[in-house]
Structure 1
Amino acid sequence: MKQAVGYKYETDAAHLARFDRFTLENYPEATTLTREMVLDWCSKKAHEHQANQLFRASIIRQFGIYLDRIGVTAYVIPKRYYPAETPYVPYIYSTDELQRFFAETDRCRYCSECPDRHLIMPLFFRMIYACGLRVSEARLLTVGDVDVEQGILSVHHSKKDNSRLVPMSVELAERCRGYFRQVHPFPKDTEMFFPALGGKPMTLANVYHNFRRFLWRAGISHGGRGKGPRIHDFRHTFACHCLKQWVLQGKDLAAYLPVLKTYLGHDSFTETAYYLRLTADVFPDLMLKLEGRYPDIIPTLEIAADETD
């Protein structure tokens, strides 16, 4: 049902499979979803973060709601039953930090274990920032998805199974053409544009490992796991820098926000309007101008929009 309405629902499905094994082991005679089972399953483990518990509770809550709707007796754990962690506030990179970070990607050395790494990393991270991509949108691009001549990316089956076209800047498109000639001399549309060993997509772990190394060499402080800055913050930074530029240019944001919404692949206007608040908070000198012109569409800064990859 979830997949039918556009959700990938893969990680969630794996959690439900584990819940199935959990009930078989601990409640083999159960015929309904009871409060005892749900709270036992959701109990916080000593080693885990609060976010993991909340995620597990959210999945089992949705499952309970589904069972109730089809007429099966089920306990539905109340929303916000467990206290939430302090919400993560996106890290907005300064122009200087971006320059230092990308300079370090340019210094990436050849590695025999991953022969194309020194070519991939400089373009990969620039593309995430310059096109406002989610990490996996860049990671899963195929050769056929990247029109290096027209400078357009085709993003397929992204969040909520949405697809969109993403134009690149002239400079980024030129970088893509140079990269393409070196990495894909005999291209096939089905090949990964950023290939790992064996032609497979780069893993999230590999991308993150390289990110942390470049971050450290660029002298950008990292607060530790869950603290940031994160790779996904390049996307937040792109949106804020874009809005800042439009405000300084006197653009009508009521007309331009739908453009940004489409470019970022947002499902609702609320997700995009969130960046107005983030931009106003990061660049205080723009606050009065934004508050004065768009008081009714600037939401409260509570949680980061589009937080998941």
Structure 2
Amino acid sequence: MIEKNYTFKSILSELIIGYIEEKRSIGYKYIKSASHLKNFDTFLAKEHLMEKNLPKELVLLWTNKRFNETEGNRSNRISIARGFAKYMVRLGYDAYILPAASVTIDRYSYVPYIFSEQELKSIFIVCDNYPSSDISPNRHLILPLLFRMLYGCGLRISEALKLECNDVDLKQGTLFIRNAKFGKERIVPMAESLTERCRQYLVKVHNLKSCNPIYFPSPYGGHYDEGTIYNLFRKILWKAKISHSGKGPRLHDIRHTAAVHCLKKWVINKKDLTNLLPFLSAYLGHVDLRGTQHYLRLTADLYPHIIDAVEQDYSFLIPEVPYYETN
């Protein structure tokens, strides 16, 4: 780690080390950012800062655009300076916090579409009443469970379509997700109501005569193609009177919605997100907490009535630059 190869020397060295340790304790690898903070520490020492505060003039001097520096790199430095200043203020020190508008770069322009509870209800009603088809005899049975599973378990569509019958444990009420993104595997618990739907589905689709191991079999016996499900999703949105324009809503937005609704419920119920975020991260199969924490930003942005609670209690968990996984 960077702090083992470098001796912090400024008067804020203990605070900088504490900030790095806090970030890592909540799931960040924080290697590149720690390198920036090492440079910040060197800068503060050269500027002969003598008191444990962070004055505006030094913050502005350090975050000025450098010769041949990309906007992305400068945005990173600004974001780190803001985060560290917030950390200092939280601990009772005086520190200048750059305005949020100072972070100018948006690396991921797509903002997820978060379905309302009423929109989800409409989607499920359309799925429940989807017509049967001679060409695809199980489609009307697959869609109601598939879309409830995407939301109820926060699955990626690829994870759901790869499920095999042995991956669905009706006794434990769990799904075994294998060969997921980043090569990860995980066990995902289901609500009892969803487990019961799986039991009914098993009887109707995978009866004693069926030997197909694929849980959601296509009419041709193999896995459903994601493109086929997406086309059906477009039709479902139209029937549910939910507008589809531009880039969204996308199938993956059901997963985003599951995460945001979960966080919203936790905030309203005053749960300790510091302890719960790692569980949500594992549940969603994130490689680290970064993606999960950005859902917290999105939750605060979408629901004005809880934004004060989120910003007051968990501002240190919310990253500066928006990031949302795309698959």
TM-score scaled to structure 2, two decimals?
0.66
Are the counterparts in 2 of residues 144 and 188 from structure 1 also a CA contact under 8 Å?
Answer: no
| Alpha-carbon distance between aligned partners in 2 of 1:283 and 1:264, rounded to the nearest angstrom | 22
| Pair 1:173-2:195 in alignment | yes
Does residue 232 (structure 1) correspond to residue 259 (structure 2)? The answer is no
Partner of 2:161: 139
| SS of equivalent residue, structure 2 residue 241 | coil
- Aligned CA distance change for structure 1 residues 135 and 187 (closer, same or farther; 3 Å): farther
For 1:189 and 1:148, how far apart are their aligned partners in 2? Answer: 18
* Mapping of residues 1-309 of structure 1, within 5 Å: 87-186=109-208, 191-224=213-246, 227-304=247-324, 306-308=325-327
- SS of structure 2 residue aligned to 1:154: strand
Q: Tell me which amino acid in the other structure corresponds to 1:144.
A: N
How many corresponding residue pairs?
223
- Structure 1 distance, partners of 2:106, 2:174, is 40
Deviation at 1:190, TM superposition (A): 6.5
Alpha-carbon offset, residue 113 of structure 1: 0.6
**RMSD (Å) for aligned C-alpha atoms:** 1.8
Deviations 1:83-121 (A, max 9, x none): 999711000000010000110001111101111000000
Q: Which runs of 5+ in 2 are unaligned?
A: 1-104
Contact kept in structure 1, 2:217 and 2:223, CA below 8 Å: yes
CA separation of 1:231 and 1:139: change in aligned 2, threshold 3 A: same
Structure of larger gyration radius? 2
The residue type equivalent to 1:307 in the other structure is: T
CA distance in 2, matches of 1:255, 1:127: 25
**1:189 Cα offset (Å):** 8.1
Shift in CA distance, 115/286, structure 1 to aligned 2, threshold 3 Å? same
Shift of 1:188: 7.3
The residue type equivalent to 1:112 in the other structure is: D
Partner amino acid for 2:299?
T
Cα separation, 2, equivalents of 1:97 and 1:90: 15
SS class of match (1:201): coil
- Separation in 2 of the partners of 1:250 and 1:141? 35
1:300 CA displacement? 2.6
Asked if 2 retains the 8 angstrom alpha-carbon contact of 1:143 and 1:188, the reply is: no
Higher mean alpha-carbon deviation, 197-206 vs 293-302, is at 293-302
Segments ≥4 residues shifted beyond 3 Å: 83-86, 187-190
Please tell me the residue identity of whatever aligns with 1:152. T
Aligned CA distance change for structure 1 residues 240 and 186 (closer, same or farther; 3 Å):
same
What is the TM-score with the length of structure 1 in the denominator?
0.69
Question: Counterpart of 2:188 in 1: which secondary structure?
Answer: strand
Q: Secondary structure at the match of 2:172?
A: coil
Identity of aligned residues (%): 45
TM-superposed CA distance for 1:301, in Å, is 4.8
> Contact (CA 8 Å) 1:146, 1:153: kept in 2 or not?
yes
Residue 255 of structure 1 aligns to which amino acid in structure 2?
Answer: N
* CA distance in structure 1 between the aligned counterparts of 2:163 and 2:209, rounded to whole angstroms: 14
